[in-house]
Structure 1
Amino acid sequence: MHRLAAVFVAFVILCASGLSPAFAQEKSLTVFAAASMKNALDEIDAAYTARTGVKIVASYAASSALAKQVEQGAPADIFLSADTDWMDYATARKNISESTRVNLLGNSIVLIAPKDSKIDNVTIGPGFDLAKLAGDGKIATGDVKAVPVGKYARAALEKLGAWQAAEPKFAMAESVRAALTLVARGEAVLGIVYATDAKIEPGVKIVGAFPADSHPSIIYPVAATATAKAEAADYLAYLRSSAAKTVLEKYGFTFLIRPTS
């Protein structure tokens, strides 16, 4: 009887000290990531949890919205932005652990139409008349004042001389995935989204690609937040690994760094 009591006390002490065998399963990290990352990152997170037992809670939205949520104290451990501007914004406000920041991924923007659209094989270059191509329909992209894909789209159209005429036809969405959905549903006749988004949506087709030199380089930086849990370092290391690179490239992202493992 005394031996049973001793075993029980020892078990209670073990649990209280945080050395319970189930402790790893109870750990979690909250990841704030650009909406365009959802499919690829969901796959990466599932593999990471299977390997480590650490649960990943992912929140996807426009990078602009996520950066402001972090600024307002939202409990995030990782921030993965679709442009450097919003990572710079978070860094300037001391919301990011700057030493952990790395430019992880690249992407490109494309012109899309509903899958059954008669529009096809559009050559995008100087003098490109997007307004005429859209006719009476709407063109969907992210909010050009804040959402990265919209900012890239506007920059490209301004450089190509197509923005002024096309601007009134734009339907500004809260994120790139929202813009993608508008086109897939036929609520917009055209859309400007990342190539990676077009690839995962069967309801749309790519009808043209924007020249890389028509807009700032599309770069996805990632970093731990200033309030991140210690486990964030291992998760960031996994994002830089060959295993993550394989998944990200499968979804069409360009891996910008040499894999660390």
Structure 2
Amino acid sequence: MRHRSIFYLLGLLSFSSTLVFACSLISNTNSSSINQSTNLTISAAASLKTAMEKIQYLYGHTKPRIKLIYNFGSSGSLQKQIEHGAPIDVFISAATDKMDALEKQGLLLENTRKNLLKNNIVLIVPKEKRIGIKSFRDLSSQSIRKIAMGEPKSVPIGHYAQQVLKNLKIFEKIKPKVVFARDVRQVLYYVETGNVDAGIVYASDMKVSKGVELVADVPVNSHSPVLYPVAAIKSTKNAKLARELIDFLFQETSGRIFKNYGFELAE
């Protein structure tokens, strides 16, 4: 009996030690899971860069364990990246046709697509170097040697700019002067540095630059509406978080940031 009691006691101690170790392991695993951050990757039109960086700071205070990773570029190139399987959670385009293409291919998460923002198109020149430009029609003047605009096929601002210039019937005349850029921020850079005499950008881009001056807004009804749709990508592994981020972009605090940087709310 005495031997049995000793063996029973040793067995009980062994079981207790195992239980304590298991509880400790579970506790450590849960602690690690709680402290682990989740990355959320957003592909966004280049014109959104400054505003979205402010959104990132604001979102970090609201969701400290969610890290926003940005991929900025022309909407056309971002669309192609998603089509080729890039691991993107949320896409914000500067043109509806890029989002339409993804939707037709079934690449968007159901019921997440919404129109987020609107923008306007403006003609700008390097600060204190106007060279007699007062309107879009003046771009055809012989004194204007270089004009920057986005590449129409892949860069939405280029597509809108081409619509404006064709509507004014001057596109073919000024085409030899045009320097095509990979995105709207490159257009802005060309104007800021004086490498071109004028450029066509969004009003929001002009607002973040101190090196350019406004010449003219686009004529009314000279281009299709500039809309920025947002949607989650179907292949995302963070569907719930992607939906929450989209909801956050429509909140009043986010709306104030967008307005401060020259955007208008679409809804």
CA RMSD of aligned residues (A): 2.1
Q: Distance in 1 between matches of 2:71 and 2:196?
A: 26
Q: Tell me the TM-score normalized by structure 2.
A: 0.88
Count of residue correspondences: 251
AA matched with 2:48: M
Q: Secondary structure at the match of 1:167?
A: helix
Give the equivalent residue in structure 2 for 1:249.
259
Give the equivalent residue in structure 1 for 2:106.
94
Give the equivalent residue in structure 2 for 1:85.
97
* Aligned-residue offset at 1:7: 5.7
Give the equivalent residue in structure 1 for 2:7.
none
Structure 1 contact 131–169 (Cα < 8 Å) conserved: no
Are residues 11 and 66 of structure 1, via their aligned partners in 2, closer, same or farther at CA, if it must alter by over 3 Å?
farther
The counterpart of 1:160, out of the listed 161, 168, 189, is 168
* Aligned-residue offset at 1:119: 3.6
Q: Distance in 1 between matches of 2:195 and 2:243?
A: 42
Within-5 A mapping of 1:120-199: 122-124=134-136, 128-132=137-141, 135-199=143-207
Q: Which runs of 5+ in 2 are unaligned?
A: 1-12
Give deviations 1:15-56, integer Å, cap 9, x for gaps.
Answer: 545873313xx1110000000000001101111122112100
Structure 1 segments, 4+ long, off by >4 Å, are 1-8
Q: Distance in 2 between matches of 1:146 and 1:251?
A: 24
* Aligned-residue offset at 1:145: 2.1
AA matched with 1:218: V
Structure 1 contact 113–190 (Cα < 8 Å) conserved: yes
* Aligned-residue offset at 1:148: 0.1
Are residues 187 and 123 of structure 1, via their aligned partners in 2, closer, same or farther at CA, if it must alter by over 3 Å?
closer
Give the equivalent residue in structure 2 for 1:10.
23
Q: Distance in 2 between matches of 1:141 and 1:4?
A: 71
Q: Distance in 2 between matches of 1:120 and 1:9?
A: 79
Give the equivalent residue in structure 2 for 1:22.
35
Structure 1 contact 78–232 (Cα < 8 Å) conserved: yes
* Aligned-residue offset at 1:235: 0.4
